[in-house]
Amino acid sequence: MSGHAHHPEPLAPVEARVAAIESVLVEQGLFDTEALDAIVETFEHNLGPMNGARVVARAWVNPDYRRRLLEDGTAAIAELGFGGPEGDHMVVVENTPSVHNLVVCTLCSCYPWPVLGLPPAWYKSPPYRSRAVREPRTLLAEMGTVVPDDVEIHVWDSSAEVRYLVLPERPPGTENLTEDELAPLVTRDAMIGVERW
């Protein structure tokens, strides 16, 4: 295997054609290669977890928004301009000092990508999918999140119809931060529920 890993494969005709188009357009000065690189990069990040982070940050600073978000996640998320086919039926579940929420898709890997971006590999893994239901506390501890014994863990099984987003608690010591300052603190893992602070 390793002896062949770096041997370029022959170009497929369509691949060569696309490369030809690129070289002509770059030569024409329509764009440069770096500009194309930048666009390609956004394909991986364009629907990143920052959308969800903005939802959470808004809920932390705005009690009315928080109420709307918990009542009708889809509509409240759409207020910020996020949504789409796979974020159609969003339910937002709220962490409290006594309840921790964890999202899983036991059947496959349903995931609210319009707000959370691309699902991490572990989210799709069979061990996560089965253990999140069977032994969530142990699983979370192994993932670095120890949920105190007096905190209940609620597990939410996503499906094609309903996708869940965890609203984490606002971290202590952030009372003076603005919405824009709070958003970067919100992690993807916290919104799935495998992180808690």
Partner 1 sequence: MSTGIPEDVASMGGAAALPRDNGELVFGAPWEARAMAMAVAVVERLGLPWDAFRSRLIAAIAASPARPYYESWAAALEELVVAQGLSTVAALDAAEPSERSPL
Active site residues: 105, 108-110
State yes or no: residue 16 binds partner 1 (CB under 8 A). yes
Rounded CA separation 117/157 (Å): 18
User: Could you tell me whether strands 163-167 and 152-157 are parallel, antiparallel, or unpaired per DSSP bridges?
Assistant: unpaired
- The mark string for 24-43 relative to partner 1 (x by CB under 8 A, - otherwise) is xx--x-xx-x-xxxxxx-xx
Residue number, 27 or 149, with CB nearest to partner 1:
27
* R_g (Cα) of the chain, nearest Å: 21
State yes or no: residue 8 binds partner 1 (CB under 8 A). yes
Which of 53, 185, 69 shows the shortest CA–CA distance to 116?
53
Q: Which amino acid is at 119?
A: P
DSSP tally for the chain: helices H, then strands E: 10, 4
Considering CB under 8 A, how many residues would be counted as binding partner 1?
41
Q: Supply the minimum distance, in Å, between the C-beta of residue 152 and partner 1.
A: 29
Write out the residues near partner 1 by the rule CB under 8 A: 8, 11-12, 14-25, 28, 30-31, 33, 35-40, 42-43, 45-47, 50, 84, 86, 108-111, 113-114, 118-119
